Amino acid sequence: MSASGDSAGVEDGAARELLRDLVEIPSPTGEEAACAERLAAFFEEHAREVWVDEVGNVRAPADDAVLLTSHVDTVPGEIPVEVKDGELWGRGSVDAKGPLASMAAAAVETGVSYVGVVGEETNSRGARFLVEDRDAPDAVVNGEPSGWDGVTLGYRGFLAGEYAVGTDSTHTSRPEPNAIQHAMAWWETVEREFESADTDEETDGETDADASVFEQVTAKPVEFSGGTADDGLSVEASVAAQFRIPPGESAGAVRSAVETALDGEANEGEIDWREPIPPVMESPRTEVARAFRVTIRRAGGDPRLLRKTGTSDMNIFAGAWDCPMATYGPGDSELDHAPNERLDLAEFDRAVAVLTDVCEDLQP
């Protein structure tokens, strides 16, 4: 099926033009409005219904046989936007404006539904609003870099919390532990509880490299602060921590294990937990996974089925919607958030073609 209704197809070069425009417009989390306007204008130019909803998502509903969705926001950081040796350099070129733009082009070509969501890099506020505000589609393709010949079927879940502790201030010559020492002891206990392979699980590594990590709970401190309070009467300390949770484990079990660390010497503080994101592992035998395998082979590739050690909006969608889904998009995930983030434009073109064929395959 080609573009539905009165919508016009994407002319040669228009997808690349959209991509460059999106990359040139800074959109760190919380500042997505200008980028969302450019994305909405692309759908208006192609006679598609589109609006920006109350949280900032770009909504272009159409044929719900497939919902294509990726995120508008990026992490902070300025990288000069330029094309060198066939690669587009710039913040967000890989994560995830390459997937975002390729999906916009495929949505216009095939007439399927599309949403550009906000806030994925922090609290997934766009995806959380979306699953509450609309019914489940027949299938979902989430946009994150997987390489044009890769399809991501699994992500670990996510749990964040902050340990806080305070003690009376005393002279530093006294032997009693202060709040900073309590916080350090607590984190050492947590690390022992979740001892795992020494790897950077924030890189969203793939199955072959990080299979053992995908199957483990890993713990990472992301902020440590402490010192004498302004009034001089107490010492305060806090540790912000993140936990990645594999399929088969629950956030409740991880929470319980972490809280047992309060029963020892560090039994002085409290933990404030954030809302967890559950893990997801889709079957390789769904119609979505099959459509990608067939299409990638048809295009001359050898399909790679991936699991990522990080977390994405697909976790949110899988927790709310009972429909087949996968994550796909051009780009090397090793360049996510990196100072040398760049996207091969030929790969971008191939991803647009793959997405277009997959959507046509999944439409009745």
Cβ-based neighbours of 202, under 8 Å, separated by 6 or more: 220, 310, 337
**DSSP per-residue letters across 63-102:** EEEEEEEEE--B-S-----EEETTEEESTTIIIIIHHHHH
Place of tokens 């010192």: 227
- DSSP letter (8 states) at residue 32: -
Among residues 73, 204, 210, 313, which one is catalytic? 73
**Domain spans of the chain, in order of start:** 14-155+280-362, 157-273
Structure tokens at 55: 């949280």
CB half-sphere exposure, 175, CA atoms < 13 A: 0
Place of tokens 């933990």: 271
Radius of gyration over every alpha carbon of the chain, rounded to an integer in angstroms: 22
Does pLDDT of 5 surpass 60?
Answer: no
Q: Is 204 an annotated catalytic residue?
A: no
Q: Is 44 an annotated catalytic residue?
A: no
Q: What is the 3-state secondary structure (H, E, C) of 161-190?
A: EEEEEEEECCCCCCCCCCHHHHHHHHHHHH
Among residues 109, 120, 341, 361, which one is catalytic? 120
pLDDT at 9: 66
Structure tokens at 40: 């909405």
14-155+280-362 in CATH: which number? 3.40.630.10
pLDDT in tens, 145-163: 999 999 999 999 999 999 9
**DSSP per-residue letters across 260-300:** GGGGSTTTT-EEEEPPPB--EE--TTSHHHHHHHHHHHHTT
Query: For the chain, what is the mean pLDDT?
Result: 91
What distance in Å separates the CA atoms of residue 236 and residue 224, rounded to the nearest whole number? 11
pTM of the model: 0.88
- Read off the pLDDT band of 170 (50, 70, 90): confident
Between the alpha carbon of residue 346 and those of residues 66, 92, 102, 351, the distances in Å are 25, 17, 12, 9
Q: What is the 3-state secondary structure (H, E, C) of 293-356?
A: HHHHHHCCCCCEEEEECCCCHHHHHHHHCCCCEEEECCCCHHHCCCCCCEEEHHHHHHHHHHHH
- End-to-end CA gap in the chain: 8
Does pLDDT of 199 surpass 50?
Answer: no
pLDDT at 171: 82
pLDDT at 134: 97
CB of 65 within 8 A of CB of 139?
yes
Does pLDDT of 201 surpass 50?
Answer: no
Q: Which fold has domain 157-273?
A: Alpha-Beta Plaits (3.30.70)
pLDDT in tens, 262-316: 776 546 789 999 999 999 999 999 999 999 999 999 999 999 999 999 999 999 9
Does pLDDT of 4 surpass 50?
Answer: no
Lowest mean pLDDT among 36-50, 60-74, 190-204, 280-294: 190-204
CB of 17 within 8 A of CB of 348?
no
